Amino acid sequence: MMTAKILLIAIPFIWLGLVGGLSFLEAPLKFTAPGITLELGLAIGRLVFFWLNKVELLMAVLWGIGFLILRPRGKFLMFAGGVIVLILLAQTFWLLPVLDIRAEAVIAGTEAPGSSAHIIYIAVEVVKFILLPIIGAVTAKQYINGG
């Protein structure tokens, strides 16, 4: 039971750090480094976001295991966790593949067709970034104060 509580409380904050550090810090900053071309930045980004996605899927599974073991009170955690999982699935099976195709085209030197996928990815990443600390805080309040 203690391990499940730790999973439910710690994972959202660890996940938040990964998303904040990689999506909102590393991603835009890499293009400002001396010598980084658009093509090189996109190649690095593809690799970083491929592995971030895999780690996020692991985080979701571990958090889900903790959730299933403890069955926390209230519907908010189930709703917010479900929203995050839906975002993650959309990123995994739709947004990242679309963005990957666009990045490959730019890296190959061909003009990529216009797409709103990047804006959508950023928007859902912001939603995830807002929900993760709330989930962590709600869970911590429930299990630290409530036992």
Q: What is the DSSP letter of 114?
A: P
Q: Per-10-residue mean pLDDT for the chain, 147 residues long? A: 89 98 94 93 95 98 94 92 97 96 91 84 98 96 78
Which pLDDT does position 1 carry in this prediction? Answer: 77
Closest by CA position to 138, among listed 90, 59, 74, 86: 74
CA distances from 136 to 49, 60, 76, 93, 103 (A): 23, 13, 12, 26, 34
Contact 95, 117 (CB under 8 A): yes
Handedness of CA 51, 133, 76, 80 (dihedral sign): negative
Which pLDDT does position 146 carry in this prediction? Answer: 63
Closest by CA position to 15, among listed 142, 141, 134: 134
**Residues shown for the chain:** 147
Q: DSSP letter string over 26-61?
A: IHHHGGGSTT--HHHHHHHHHHHHHHHHHHHHHHHH
The pTM of the full predicted model, rounded to 2 decimals, is: 0.92
Closest by CA position to 52, among listed 27, 72, 74: 27
Which pLDDT does position 34 carry in this prediction? Answer: 94
Which pLDDT does position 111 carry in this prediction? Answer: 75
Which pLDDT does position 3 carry in this prediction? Answer: 87
